[in-house]
Chains A and B, each alone.
Chain A
Amino acid sequence: MQILFSISWRNIWRHPARSGVLIAAIVAGIWAGITISGLTNGIIEQRFNNLIQDDLTHLQVHHPEFLAERESPMILSQADSILSFLESDSLVASAAPRTIVDGMIQSSVTTSGVQVRGIDPGLERQTTTFHENLTSGEYLNSDLRNPLLMGERLAEKLNAEIGERVVLTFQDVNQELVTASFTLSGLFKTASGPFDESTTFARSDDLSELLAGQPVTHEIVVMLQDEAKSTEMANTINHQFEDAEAETWYELSPELRYITDFGGTMTFYVMVVIMLALAFGILNTMLMAIFERMRELGMLMAIGMSKSRIFFMIMIESVILTLSGAAAGIVLAWISITLLHKNGLDLSAVGGDSMAEFGYDSVIYPTVQSGDYIATILLVILTAVLAAVYPALKALRLNPGEVVRE
């Protein structure tokens, strides 16, 4: 065995070019496999974030009737205690209260139905990425009186410019109509035209004052540390608080769930295809290398080396090559993933730039779980060893003279 090992070792170094190619194939395989896993994780995560973080969040809490009826008296009576409960829970990344009322907006040109969302500018900014959709003007922490944000499309329809006054009318918590003037402080643009045309943002303090003369919360949006805990968290809230209903993002938007699930499944199959391609690439290179050695193997047989010894020699060589390649590949993959994770990979380089127009984040931050490392390494090593076994077995069945002649 000792001898076999040293023969194998010497064999490897006698053909530096061939060994180099084989090691390179393994290194590349491991590196590509791990990087792709990381990218895939990053892509799925970013895709989800783009759809969730802007507006919907992981879960929302409302008065049980609110989403169906959207009446301003349907407030979250325990909003404060829900918020402080969420604040102290370690599963929660951040939470923000919203005051929501459907009403109408009036400008000098026309009148239009709108949803007014009163937000806490600080908390909302921590919780959602909506502020990134702002295209001009100022966010709600402006000095203007009753600042209001609206979609570019709505502003166009109303012929309103930043700094101008618009009039909002809605029902207060006593079902009385309230009318108040707001100052247009900024414009935003999202991917959704109907959203841009029908949604406005105000400070929740301003809106509450008009609705009830005291803070009013209709909705609490919550981002968790880990999306997978959404259902658990929703259940906890539903148990703990009366007259409040927490729903996860996929209950709130089954359509979005369809998009994300579909995308996730797709990405999985794409990875399967790429991994298969990777395995076949290694397989072919290994096959080629070993078949080219047939002559040499025949020679060894001719000088009296036993078939089993030759088989083991080939296997030992393959294992040495594969392991050293794998080690190098892992190091390389770890370095590139760490770098990519820190700096992000901008998809706009491959034509994702039109996404930016929608305020869509095209930068991916790859992350790799240990499972991804293990799966990739197993796949590559298995492929490499398989690729070695087949021709080695084949070599054994040939008679030496024939092989040498070939």
Chain B
Amino acid sequence: MSGFTRIALPLLLSIICQTVAAQSAEEIIERMEEVMRGESSYSEMTMTIERPRYTREVSMKTWSLGDDYSLILVTAPSRDAGTTYLKRETEIWNYVPNIDRTIKMPPSMMSQSWMGSDFTNDDLVRESSTLNDYEHQILREEPIDRKESWVLELIPKPDAPVVWGKVLVWVEKENYLQLRVENYNQRGELASTMEFSDITRMGGRTIPTKMTMIPEDEPDHRTILEYSDLQFDVDLAESFFTQQNMRRVR
């Protein structure tokens, strides 16, 4: 599963994709993955970027097909409305209506923040789901938000291109929902936290519809993603994800 879908769809899922060796933990993670999986999807969401001096809201519609294709249309604020991002495999294209140009994101821009959020352009394309990236185990069981959960500990394997020292994931037992992810640096210090909340029925599934990303070292920084609509297995073909369609899609 590609990183792009992670943002467009669920950043929610980012951690889930890491597959697991031990029987029970693997099961848990696979079940958790199932919850958000779909061959294709459509969503409407709002991204709120909180900074010490300002807050910015970006609304968008997203379409995705498999791991390789996705398209994001910005609908608000009005200054940016109509801007689209297209991901095809490892390339990102950006269409900007007021200059009427489609630009391929060069590597030099990959480390830049995406739309001013806590995510980089690279987060949109990164393939992070290496099967062998982590060793993992069930650490303990504890309630979170009054829901019984497993706490899984994921330790990256030595070669894995992962910056964390370890990752803790809270998975709720009833619906296999991921509720909380804590990323630790290699000295065991908390680096960032993702919280998943507002569990609702959407697109025929019970899912958390709000994700909050809290970096530890930047106290007043937050990026919040909230779904207002989410549909799975919608009718999409590869031909939808083209540069021509970037200009047309509404």
Contacts and interface: CB of A to CB of B under 8 A. Distances in A.
B214 to A, nearest CB: 13
Nearest to A167: B161
Interface string B197-233: 0000000000000000001010000000000000000
Output the residue of B107, B120, B165 with the most chain A CB within 10 A.
Answer: B107
Given A104-B110, A108-B191, A169-B126, A179 B161 contact: yes
B237 to A, nearest CB: 24
A176 B107 CA distance: 10
A113 B120 CA distance: 11
Contacts of A108: 163-165, 183-186, 191-192
A179 B126 contact: yes
B159 interface: yes
Contacts of A165: 156, 162-163, 186
B158 interface: yes
B111 A112 contact: yes
Nearest to B191: A108
A238 interface: no
Contacts, number: 71
Interface string A131-170: 0000000000000010000000000000101001111011
A268 to B, nearest CB: 43
A102 interface: yes
Given A145-B158, A159-B217, A111 B107 contact: no
Given A102-B108, A108-B183, A111-B111, A166 B163 contact: yes
A129 to B, nearest CB: 29
B124 to A, nearest CB: 11
Interface in A44-97: none
Interface residues of A, number: 26
Contacts of B120: 104, 111
Contacts of A145: 158-159
B127 A179 contact: yes
Nearest to B90: A177
A159 B189 CA distance: 11
B159 A109 contact: no
Given A108-B185, A177-B125, A179-B126, 17 more contacts: A104-B107, A104-B111, A107-B185, A108-B184, A108-B191, A109-B215, A111-B122, A113-B110, A113-B111, A113-B112, A145-B158, A159-B185, A161-B187, A165-B156, A165-B186, A169-B110, A177-B126
27 contacts: A103-B107, A104-B110, A105-B111, A107-B163, A108-B164, A109-B185, A109-B215, A112-B111, A113-B111, A159-B185, A161-B186, A161-B187, A164-B186, A164-B187, A165-B156, A165-B163, A167-B161, A167-B162, A167-B163, A169-B126, A171-B107, A177-B107, A177-B122, A177-B125, A179-B127, A179-B161, A181-B161
Interface of A: 102-109, 111-113, 145, 159, 161, 164-167, 169-171, 176-177, 179-181
Identify the 3 closest CB pairs spanning chains A and B, nearest first: A104-B111, A108-B185, A108-B191
